[in-house]
Structure 1
Amino acid sequence: VETFENTKLLNSAVEFIVAQGLNPGIKNSGMRFLRHLKNVFPAVKHIFWDWSTMMPTLTCIDAEVMACLNELLNLYKEMEMNLLAILFFMSSEGSEELVEVIWKHLKTFHLPNAKMRKVMRDDKPYYCPPYMFFTAGTSEKISRLEKVVCTDRIVEPDLRHFLYVQNRSINIYKNDNIYEFMGFDYEHDD
């Protein structure tokens, strides 16, 4: 996250941001990333936010959770985005109540086509905690993203899935396709 915060580069060609794999063990890594996002990528129109960038599971609603939700929603409005997607991994206890509180808060922003969907993984027993998937916006990419996450139950989409979401000419994504990816590497000194 420090590398991202300290970059002076401006990339006005990037329109789709996928926030996955940030280290939630680094203090405020998700919020630090969000606060610097528009400085590096001023043309962003679509964001996929994996809640694990903030914390492994959503276990409670506190000031940090609300601040992150507000930051995402305000970025969506301020940058006139077309797609906001947030994937939450729920804890098993109290998940229903947490979802209700979050959904109630998200609805106060009156985002177009906002919805919250439960996603169960095929590789987990039915009693395992679900994922909740929030989407809002007017982009045609939403239906492809929902197909990947909700229909195909891929809760850790990788680059091939996002290429499918981005490119309408790709009718199918293949599990054996391999793509190179450029991102910000995290170096940890032990």
Structure 2
Amino acid sequence: MNLDKLLINNDIKEDSVKEIVLNMILLSIFEEIYNHLERESNKEILKNKLRRGDTNVILRELIENIITMKLQDCDYEYISSLIIAYLRKNDIRKKLNDEEKRALLLEQEYKCEMCHCRINIVNSCIDHIVPFKMVGDELKDNYQLLCEQCNLNKSSSLNYYLKTIVKRFVRK
């Protein structure tokens, strides 16, 4: 079976798959940069460069030195925002209050972001889309609510985006 047939047979929108693949690629690029910055004194070297120069230019050079892929300006901006969040992150987790959790529930239409099962304020788990260890709580739109099972399965994985396609078809 080819991909086109799989999508058609299961009423999966091609655009949603493309969006998931793009997110996976951009997050994988960030993961490579994160791993680079975690090695030796690379993080401190970058911080020193940023104190002396143009942030956008320096971050774009960093990305281009690690990844040879041709990216659009919006991709550089997104990856740069992740790098900045990484540099600013605090190791203390922010706790979302019930009001913030209710707003997320409403935004997600009371469905788990991965498998789309019904969730509520009691049985949902707050999850960081980009793992906390990488960006802390620095990104304002980095939260989603998952059911307990999906939260356990996701852990601090970045490849969960691809799993979201299949999770919707798993028998409960």
Bin of the TM-score, shorter chain as denominator length: under 0.3
Structure showing the higher strand proportion among its residues: 1
- Higher helix fraction: Structure 1 or Structure 2? 2
Decide which structure has the larger Cα Rg and report it.
2
Structure with the larger RCO, 1 or 2 (CA within 8 Å, 6+ apart)? 2
TM-score calculated relative to the size of structure 2: 0.26
